[in-house]
Structure 1
Amino acid sequence: MTENLLWPRYAGPTDLAGIEAVPLAERGLPGSTYALLSRAAATWPDRTAITTLPDATRWREPAHRRFAGLLGEVHRYANLLHELGIRRDDAVALMSPNTAELVPATLAAQLAGIAAPLNGGLSRPHLTDLLRLAGARILITAGPELSPEIWETAHDLARDGHLDTVLVLRPTGTTGAPAELPAVAGVRIGYLGELAAGQDPSVFHGVPPQSGDLAAFFHTGGTTGAPKLAANSLLDEESVLFAALPLFHVNALIVTVLAPLFKGQGAVWAGPLGYRDLALYGQFWKLVEHYRISAMSAVPTVYSVLAQCPVDADLSSLRVAMVGASPLPAAVRENFESHTGITLVEGYGLTEATCASARAFPDSPRPGSVGQRLPYQRMKAVRVRPDGSWEDLPPGQAGILVISGPTVFPGYVTGHGEHGHVLDGLGKLSGGWLDTGDLAHLDPDGFVYLAGRAKDLIIRGGHNIDPAQIEDALLAHPEVTGAGAVGRPDIHSGEVPVAYVTLAPGSSVTELQLREWARGKVPESAAAPKTVTVLDALPVTDVGKPYKPALRADAARRELTKALADVAGVAAIEVEIDRGSVLAVVETASETGESAVKTILRRYAIDWRVTRTP
């Protein structure tokens, strides 16, 4: 009975009502991530929990951790952190590509205090600000053997006085004496494995977390101690998940670390580069067969590449291929599914709602939908009235998508003082409801149909980019008087950042020089604009506010004009922004041209129509 309460049947949209007939409080969910791990270790001590690959070329030489061993390692690491002074409200920063030590280190940080994963690709000023907001003085990070670039960043942060302790991780499967670590005055630096070796693996010597405690901070939000996960009965206890997203991404923690603990499922972790390791794709199907992978999760660009990789192995174990984080082009779906015979299952979520809020069903497709709301979450579309209040909209009518329920975060971290972390909804939380910033409508069964973004975020391959950081970089140039950054459709990444600027009279700076200027100023390489276009004036609304839809339309028009340049018979290309989404209308003069245009347009995650000239 307990197992049924913890993991109810959820194989189709009609199961939702039956699940919610039992109040969430009566399901007996573990009260924290630590309690979840402890339960898994007690229930399946000898079952393999984590298999970590050194890299894509050595995928047959993994490191294994059983559930009992994983708990013991978490205890050792957490006891070291406790010995170093970490308590319940103290944050521990983690900055490393995936390696065998990183999963237990992350869980240990949540056990001893609060885990604060960082993207090592961010600029040092950005990282410094995140450390300050979290109040983190201890950093668990990649060493020089694992990632020389991240190690250099970590060393500089310590040298500049932002850290008291640096605990270093080694590559998966590394043997022999580690590299000597340079000293930094006033900072304790050492290898995590060595420093924790003498700690007690049997029990945590501090105070375990409770369900109301904070467990983790992520770059755009936070999650609380309770592992507020929705059950999925598409996979059984023998299922094996493939994990390749970096652990600073909330999806990696929720979907491939915590969710498998409910059923004692194993996870196979890719090497430090994850899906960015080009060698992975040549071996991927053999890896699926060898480890009997049952489920994977990736962004559309990954599936686009896999659709081009010859299927040279038995894929019968792979039952669930989840896709999310950015719009799924129709051509990517069709190419992958026809190439592999595996159905792509869309999902929707955001960091502020603990990653997962809706998911589709492979046997119950709803074309155009990203899935049904997950159990115990509430979703609706609203219209914002002039006074700022919300008006609920009926099913089928598009508005701002809002979410409430146990997965919604408590707020953004806006500071850290003597009384702990300061959390603020920053206008995104209202009466327990989260404003997602996305436009959508719902059908009567709770399926979500996205209609674009009310917010201006650029989503490059599932990575959120704030256009303000690009605009600030360009406005720092002495000859730039105005700047606007938007996403341009891209067949590989969904969209990429581009920028538009106005210049001071008499300026001689070129667009290429401005692009290089921005590349050197933005806080992360992913935000570097692909192009910078000089305009006489940036578009504005009737009341003088910046009007980015016009820039998005122009960027899309330029991209499609280039993509269709070699297609005979293209008479006109018109682009508009319809309810937040790019809509392209291409006019062709021949049946052959029409077919070629459709083939190209299907590669983009945009709406489009093709018409014939009279």
Structure 2
Amino acid sequence: MTVDTEDTVLWPATLDHPGDLADVETVPLGDRGLPETTYEALSRAGSLWPDQTAITVLPDAERWQSPTRRTYRELLVSVHRYANALHGLGVRRSDVVAIMSPNCDELITATLAAELAGIAMPVNGSLAGNHIRHLLEQSGAHVLIAADSTLDPAGWEQVRALALAGVLDTVLLVAPTGETTDAAAALEGAAVLSFAALAAEADGDRFVGDLPAADNVAALFHTGGTTGAPKLAAHTHRNEIVDAWSISAASELGGDSTIFAALPLFHVNALVVTLLAPTLRGQHAVWAGPLGYRDLPLYGCFWKVVSHYGITTMSAVPTVYAVLANVPVDADISSLRMAVVGASMLPPAVRRAFEEHTGITLLEGYGLTEATCASARSFLDHPRPGSVGQRLPYQRIKAVRIDEDGTWTDMPTGDAGVLAISGPTVFPGYVVGRDADGGLILDGLGKLVDGWLDTGDLGAVDADGFVYLTGRAKDLIIRGGHNIDPAQVEDSLLSHPAVTGAAAVGMPDVHAGEVPVAYVTLSAPTPEAGLVAWAKEHVAESAAAPKSVQVVDMLPVTAVGKPYKLPLRADAARRAVTAALAEHDGGTGIVEVTADAEDGSVTVTVVAEPGTDETALAQILDAFALTWRVTTR
């Protein structure tokens, strides 16, 4: 592989020990010589490693040995063509291009091209139709890159509805990996074109429009908000490049590493961790098929894929590792040196099972969309038990107390509070509209204070910059790494004529990390089963349908009358643990299960008869991502 002569400036000599962070930051970030934009990063890779394989894309799990491959030179040429095709359609720097498709070879090009020609807006096609329409209307996007009906039949129906609603002007179709699409599909209300056919006629040597700048918005990612409708968080090119660089700099893996990518490209992790970060190092990324980790046949051949492609690192959510811990290792997986886990809390039992089964260490990380992606990482050879990792270079993380009047007070080192982040990866704000010139209007909506981002997470930071999560101040429910805004659960129940109040929280779950459950107050007696069915019918997305609905006399509130969900989270945890223990010898030996909520966190206490097998109890409790203790009567 060609050696980058700027490596000694761009990359730290080492960042594989917690003590290296201070040395890294003696060099100002501005002196590192990072690429200014995602396009500049790709252009650099095309110059330094033109013949190095950039991406390998599997059509699906069953055809894992028949991928498509592209070098960095070929990827750069493709991005030029696709960006020029968008430019020819009138897309300019402040124009948003919506993207809604399962992962495929063409989608990678399309996403990078949208960031070059304008602003990319990846959309989760499983969102409710009215929410997808809201995103397009709020962003002003009139061009949609979408999967054809072969790649995503359900998504095509969403596209048809958007066109009929008059939201779209043009739909650019992408095809399954290794195939071509038929652009003859009729669509009332919008023009339909094959993106590949349009791009084939465009210049592949350079981009004909104005190049983006570091402070230009590169992408919009939707995230859960305080209302049922998703919010659009803006990322600048600098945000994405610095975060990708931080991840690459903090990786003990070299330039010859091969990364496995299986998260959807509407997820920031897929873009930053498995596309942009490898590009900065000239690394090879192997992309799973359109369903990614949701493709059940993938698990049957997963270890063979690792062996065949020499996968060195992967990134996934806890539920993926829980499944892999039970998949027989039927191949040589010695190449796999790093497995990163994030998006939701890691149950101790999942860590133990995966590491004992594979011999591979799970490394936790921490981040959120509003800070681009990653803000903390762990170390292979220097574990810090209980921590989700040390802050990444040039980012700052602290714990604060936020009073009722909005005043922030820094907490002493090691004391818990609301986590706040500052630095070059903090987003510029949410999209709240467009100005008279067509530019995006951004607003922090109370999350940005003097350059610091209120993460909504509760935790502590030690003297070495390691972060310890203790809970969530925000009410986000994370089901298998998928963020669910509780407001959409609550809105679905409040539309029921008998429901007078609703509050949704996450219940610990051994398979999904947590699942949504709801508590309601009623004006008339209504069966709980009927409320569950009602919510399932009216909720914005199927993943948000509550597993149960409990009727209560009153929903808890704070002293000033604000909703207070911590007692409900405690009750949900108690119910989950009680049910799990009941399945173990019928709950024999268990006297009582209680859950206490203090300082934003929940602790479950199990009271057992003397002589009860506490080891067996610990195995059951360790399967949940929660704090617990066992005492005897």
What's the TM-score once normalised by structure 1's chain length? 0.97
Aligned residue in 2 for 1:464? 483
> In structure 1, the residue corresponding to 2:594 is in which secondary structure?
strand
Partner of 1:393: 411
* Paired position in structure 2 for 1:413: 431
Partner of 1:264: 282
Q: Deviation digits for residues 140-192 of structure 1, max 9, x if unmatched? A: 011101010011111211122110000011111226x737411324x210111
Cα separation, 2, equivalents of 1:179 and 1:525: 31
1:559 is the counterpart of 2:576? yes
Residue aligning to 1:533: 550
Match of 1:492 in 2: 511
- 1:275 corresponds to which residue? 293
Amino acid at match of 2:384: R
Per-residue CA deviation, residues 87-146 of structure 1 (Å, 9 max, x unaligned), is 000000000010000011000000000000000000111011100111100000111010
Give the equivalent residue in structure 2 for 1:422: 441
Q: Residue 101 of structure 1: SS of its match in structure 2?
A: helix
The answer (yes or no) to whether the contact 1:222–1:351 under 8 Å persists in 2 is no
Which residue of the partner structure matches residue 230 of structure 2?
Answer: none
Q: Judge conservation of contact 2:9–2:32 (CA < 8 Å) in 1.
A: yes
> Structure 2 unaligned runs (5+)?
224-232
Distance 1:318 1:590 in 2: 44
Provide the residue aligned with 1:63 in structure 2: 68
Cα distance between partner residues in 2 of 1:40 and 1:93: 26
Q: Does 1:595 align with 2:615?
A: yes
Task: Give the alignment of 1:86-235 within 5 angstroms.
Answer: 86-174=91-179, 178=182, 180-185=184-189, 187-220=190-223, 221-226=233-238, 227-229=241-243, 230=246, 231-235=249-253
d(CA) in 2 for partners of 1:215, 1:599 = 46
Contact 1:239–1:266 (Cα < 8 Å) also in 2: yes
Superposed CA offset, 1:267-297 (max 9, x none): 0000000001111111111100000001100
Partners in 1 of 2:569 and 2:27 — Cα distance? Answer: 46
Matches of 1:132 and 1:105, distance apart in 2:
21
What is the distance in 1 between the residues matched to 2:288 and 2:619?
33
8 Å Cα contact 1:34/1:111 also seen in 2: yes
Report the alpha carbon displacement of residue 321 of structure 1 after superposing the two structures with TM.
Answer: 0.4
8 Å CA contact 2:163–2:187 kept in 1: the answer is no
After superposition, give the CA deviation of every residue in 1:182-227 in whole Å (9 maximum; x if it has no partner): 1324x21011111211111111110010111110000031210121
Structure 1 residue 549: Cα displacement: 1.2
Maintained 8 Å contact 2:477/2:505: yes
Secondary structure of 1:228's counterpart equals helix
2:337 to 310, 319, 332: 319
Report the 3-state secondary structure (helix = DSSP H, G, I; strand = E; otherwise coil) of the residue aligned with 1:174: coil
Q: CA deviation at 1:19?
A: 0.8
Deviation at 1:386? 4.4
Which amino acid letter does the alignment assign opposite residue 337 of structure 1? Answer: E
Q: Is 2:395 the counterpart of 1:377?
A: yes
- CA contact 1:289–1:314 (8 Å) conserved in 2: yes
Q: What secondary structure does 1:120 align onto?
A: coil
Of stretches 457-466 and 386-395 in structure 1, the one that deviates more from structure 2 is 386-395
Report what 1:17 is aligned to: 22
2:415 and 2:326 mapped to 1: Cα distance? Answer: 38
- Which residue of the partner structure matches residue 447 of structure 1? 466
Q: Which residue of 1 aligns with 2:227?
A: none
Is the Cα–Cα contact under 8 Å of residues 33 and 258 in structure 1 kept in the other structure? yes
Deviation at 1:611, TM superposition (A): 1.1
| Native 8 Å contact 2:183 2:193 kept in 1 | no
d(CA) in 2 for partners of 1:595, 1:126: 47
> Residue in 2 aligned with 1:574?
594
Comparing 370-379 with 562-571, greater Cα deviation is found at: 562-571
Q: Decide whether the 8 Å contact of 1:381 with 1:401 is kept in 2.
A: yes
What residue identity is the alignment partner of 1:106? T
In structure 2, relative to structure 1, the CA distance for the partners of 1:352 and 1:490 (3 Å cut) is same
How far the C-alpha of 1:304 sits from its partner, in A, is 0.5
**SS of equivalent residue, structure 2 residue 242:** coil
Instruction: Indicate the residue corresponding to 1:604 in structure 2.
Output: 624
Counterparts of 1:344 and 1:74, CA distance in 2: 34
Deviates further, 279-288 or 553-562? 553-562
Q: Tell me the distance in 1 between the aligned counterparts of 2:517 and 2:192.
A: 41
Whether the 8 Å contact between 2:183 and 2:192 is mirrored in structure 1 is no
Give the Cα–Cα distance (whole angstroms) in 2 for the partners of residues 310 and 392 of structure 1: 48
In the aligned structure 2, how far is the partner of 1:102 from the partner of 1:602? Answer: 39
Looking at structure 1, the residues matched to 57 and 390 of structure 2 have their Cα atoms a distance apart, in angstroms, of 32
Seq. identity, %: 60
The CA deviation at 1:597 is: 1.5
Q: Aligned equivalents of 1:430 and 1:18: distance in 2?
A: 29
Instruction: Tell me the secondary structure at the aligned position of residue 613 of structure 2.
Output: helix
Select which of 312, 333, 351 maps to 2:369.
351
* In 1: Cα distance, 2:436 partner to 2:537 partner: 36
> Which residue number corresponds to residue 241 of structure 1?
259
Q: Which amino acid aligns with 1:449?
A: Y
Query: SS where residue 564 of structure 1 aligns?
Result: helix
Aligned amino acid, residue 599 of structure 1: Q
Q: Which amino acid aligns with 1:465?
A: I
Mapped to 2, the partners of 1:215 and 1:312 lie a distance apart of 42
Contact 1:56 1:277 in 2 (8 A): yes
Contact 2:184/2:192 (8 A) holds in 1: no
- The one-letter code matched in structure 2 to 1:282 is G
Q: Kindly indicate whether the alpha-carbon contact (under 8 Å) linking 2:234 and 2:427 is maintained by their aligned counterparts in 1.
A: yes
- Give ranges in structure 1 of 5+ residues lacking alignment: none
Query: 2:556, 2:92 → 1: CA distance?
Result: 51
What are the within-5 Å matches in structure 2 for residues 21-32 of structure 1? 21-32=26-37
Give the structure 1 partner of residue 453 of structure 2.
434
SS of residue paired to 2:335: coil
Cα distance in 2 between the residues matched to 1:269 and 1:284: 12
Q: What is the CA deviation profile of residues 353-382 of structure 1, one whole-angstrom value per residue up to 9, with x for unaligned ones?
A: 010100010100110000000000011111
1:382-438 Cα shifts (integer Å, max 9, x gaps): 112343221111211111110000000000111123331110000000111000011
Q: Secondary structure at the match of 1:477?
A: coil
Q: Which residue is equivalent to 1:296? A: 314
Q: 1:461: how far off?
A: 1.3
For the 8 Å contact 2:133–2:167, the answer to whether it is kept is yes
How far is 1:592 from its partner? 4.2
8 Å CA contact retained: 1:594, 1:612: no
